[in-house]
Amino acid sequence: MIKSLREYIKEAEEKKVAIGHFNISNLEALHGIYNAAKKLNVPIIIGLSEGEEGFIGKEEAVALIHAVRERDNYPIFLNADHHYNFEKVKEALDAGYDSAIVDAVQLPFEENIILTKKCVKYAKSLNKDVLIEAELGFIGTSSKLLDKIPDGVGEETMTKVEDAVYFVKETEIDLLAPSVGNVHGMVKGGNPKLDINRIKKIKQVCDVPLVLHGGSGISDDDFREAIKAGISIIHINTEIRVAYKEALEKYLKDNPNEVAPYKILQPAVDAIEKVVEARLKLFNNL
C-alpha cells in the first residue's frame, strides 16, 4: 500500500533526504522521469505550472498520474505548481491533485496571507489530505536559460526568518518554499550560491517541511548542504526542458526523413531519464 504524500515527506525529513519534484509539459517527460524514479525506487512528485497544465489538461494529467500510481502501486504524486489565484488552486484540487502551491509573492505580505489562508481552508474542507504550499520571498518566475540573475532577486528579497515564522503560524500551510539564494531558471554564468544558514534558521523555527524551488543549475554541494540544513522537496524544471530540446534537435538534425513521433521523441525521453536519475541519486543519498 502506498502512503500519503504527507507521510513520504515526513519520512524524507526524518531520513534527511529530499523528494524530487519534476515538471512536465508532455507524456515524454513523464515517461523519462518515471523510468528514472522506478529504477531507484524512490517517491516522486510531478509538477504542472499553470502553463504546463493548460497544455496537458488538468483532468488528463490527473488521469495519467492516477493510472500509473494504481497500476504499479507506486508513490507518484501530482502537484499544482505555482498557481496564482484561489480559483486555479481550487480547480486543481477539485480535479484530484495531491497538493497545490499558491503563489502570491507578488502581493503585499498581508494579502498573501489572506489568499493563502483561503486556499488552506478550502483544502482542509475537502477531507482528503491534500497539501497547500506557499512561497515567501522572490526567486524569479521562469524556468528558462537566463543571461543573468533575474531583476528583483537578491539578499533583500530572500525570506526573512521572522516573516516565515509569522506566515506559517497565520496561514497553517503544510509546506513552505523560501527564497534562500535559489532562482527559477539556469543562469548562464552559473547560479548563485545558496544561503545555507538561512535554510537552517528557517527550519529551526518553522514547524513545516521546506521546499527548494529553482533547482536547475544548483551545484551538487549546495544541494547536499541544503538537504542537511532542512530541505525536504526539490523542484527541477529547466534542466528537463533543456535535455528534451537538445535531444530533439539532435535527432531531427541526424534523421531528417524520420516522421514517426515515437522514434523522434525516444531520445528526448532517454535524455530526461538521465538528468532525473542523477538528481534523484543525489537527493536521496543513493
Instruction: Tell me which residues touch ligand 13P (CB under 6 A).
Output: 23, 47, 81-82, 143, 184-185, 213-216, 235-238
Nearest distance in Å: CB 138, ligand 13P: 13
Active site residue 81: yes
Nearest CB to ligand 13P, comparing residues 31 and 184: 184
Nearest distance in Å: CB 127, ligand 13P: 27
Nearest CB to ligand 13P, comparing residues 232 and 238: 238
What is d(CA 97, CA 94) in angstroms, rounded to the nearest whole number? 7
**CB neighbours of residue 204 within 10 Å:** 12
Nearest CB to ligand 13P, comparing residues 17 and 243: 243
Nearest distance in Å: CB 22, ligand 13P: 9
Nearest CB to ligand 13P, comparing residues 49 and 284: 49
The one catalytic residue in 72, 81, 98, 129 is 81
Nearest distance in Å: CB 262, ligand 13P: 27
Q: Which residues are catalytic?
A: 81
